[in-house]
Amino acid sequence: MKKNIFLSFVLISFSLILFNSCSSKKKYELQTTTANDTIAVTLSTVHLQKVDQLYEYTALIQANALNHIAPTIPGRIDKIYFEVGDEVKKGDKLVQMDANNLSQAKTQLDNLELSFSRIDALYQTGGVSKAEWDAQKTALEVARTSYENLLTNTQLLSPINGIITMRNYDSGDIFAGNPILQVQEIKPVKILINVSENQYLQVKKGMNTKVYVDVFKDEVFNGKVNLVYPTIDPRTHTFPVEITIPNLNQRIRPGMYARVELNYGVKENVVVPDIAIIKQQGADEHYVFIYKEGKAHYKRVNLGRRMDSNYAVLSGVEDGDQVITSSLHRLNDGMSVTIIEN
């Protein structure tokens, strides 16, 4: 009995070993066959085409000018004339500070002006010395400067046309250092973009631009290059360019997200279908498979602008090359392929 059990165990073990061996062999043969398969692909022949050299930059809308309204000396705020959102004109009185010191300074100035007129008359007839005349004139000039300084810090005027965008105090508060109001000029507004040093010679003051503001979808706003900064950032190899937008209806507001399109003219580039482009995982690199002599060759490309379902390629592909447009995920560099005829 024990002998029969032992023989049965041996036969079962041998059968399992034989089965696994056959399975491994079949599996190996399947992998070998797959590796030797030729992939069928479609091709697209690429050519040089005239392409508008359009570059897009993103940035936030900024006010053309921003001013903080505050006196240079402490004091009580007598009255604030405008609220957040109100439009103001250059020269409008925005804030009236306590005027007690101003009244005293005005009285002192009036007295000194009267006194100086008397001294001046005496000086003309030799009644007083030059030293006395000089002393009186100096006192008058100091009093006038003090009064004008107090006047400037008592009646706070708007230095620009704009809109009130911040208010930190109420009438009757004591000025404590923070600006009382903030005024922003938003007609025009501006955008500051960073442009690659490769385009330094192409960007000119006065160039027209197209601006797209996200909140207004596909609406196009006309902008113009107002300032080209003269230095290159050695870390980023870019230089700042300031774009202004008239914003006559004041629809565009500071802080909005915008895209600026600059046109650097027309240039011939090889144009490649987007379905032929492979983006390298985890890196900002792009590749294509070029068909040559029955094989797929993996090649890095430098992309320019996208045009509908195509890309302008700046380098990596030549005029007349045939790029593979299907089964890209199944290909390896140097793999043999067959062509699917259209």
**Digitized pLDDT (tens) for each residue of the chain, 342 residues in all:** 444 444 444 444 444 444 444 443 333 233 333 445 689 999 999 999 999 888 899 999 999 999 999 998 888 999 999 999 999 999 999 999 988 777 787 888 888 888 888 888 888 888 888 888 888 888 888 888 878 877 778 889 999 999 999 999 999 999 988 999 999 999 999 999 999 998 999 999 999 999 999 999 989 999 999 999 999 999 999 999 999 999 999 999 999 999 999 998 899 999 999 999 998 887 789 999 999 999 999 999 999 888 889 999 999 999 999 999 999 999 999 999 999 986
Numbered ranges of CATH 2.40.420.20 in the chain: 39-50+268-339
CB 334 within 8 A of CB 296: yes
What is the rounded distance in angstroms from the CA atom of residue 196 to the CA atom of residue 174?
49
Amino acid identity of 67?
Answer: N
pLDDT of residue 26: 37
The CATH architecture one would assign to domain 56-62+185-266 is Beta Barrel (2.40)
- Bridge partners (DSSP) listed for residue 291: 296
Amino acid occupying residue 118: R
pLDDT of residue 61: 98
Helix 130-154 × helix 100-124 angle, to 10°? 160
User: What class, spelled out in words, does domain 39-50+268-339 have in CATH?
Assistant: mainly beta
The structure's pTM equals 0.66
Report the pLDDT value the prediction gives residue 20, as an integer from 0 to 100: 47
How confident is the model at residue 341, as a pLDDT? 81
Token pair for 39: 């992939």
Half-sphere exposure of 253 (CA within 13 A, CB side): 7
Which pLDDT score is estimated for 81? Answer: 96
- Specify the domain boundaries for CATH 2.40.30.170 within the chain: 56-62+185-266
Q: How many CA atoms lie within 13 A of 153 on its CB side?
A: 18
231-284 residue pLDDT tens: 999 999 999 999 999 999 999 999 999 999 999 889 999 999 999 999 888 778
Closest C-alpha to 301, from 332, 270, 327? 270
pLDDT at 236: 93
Helix (H) or strand (E) holding 64: strand 47-69
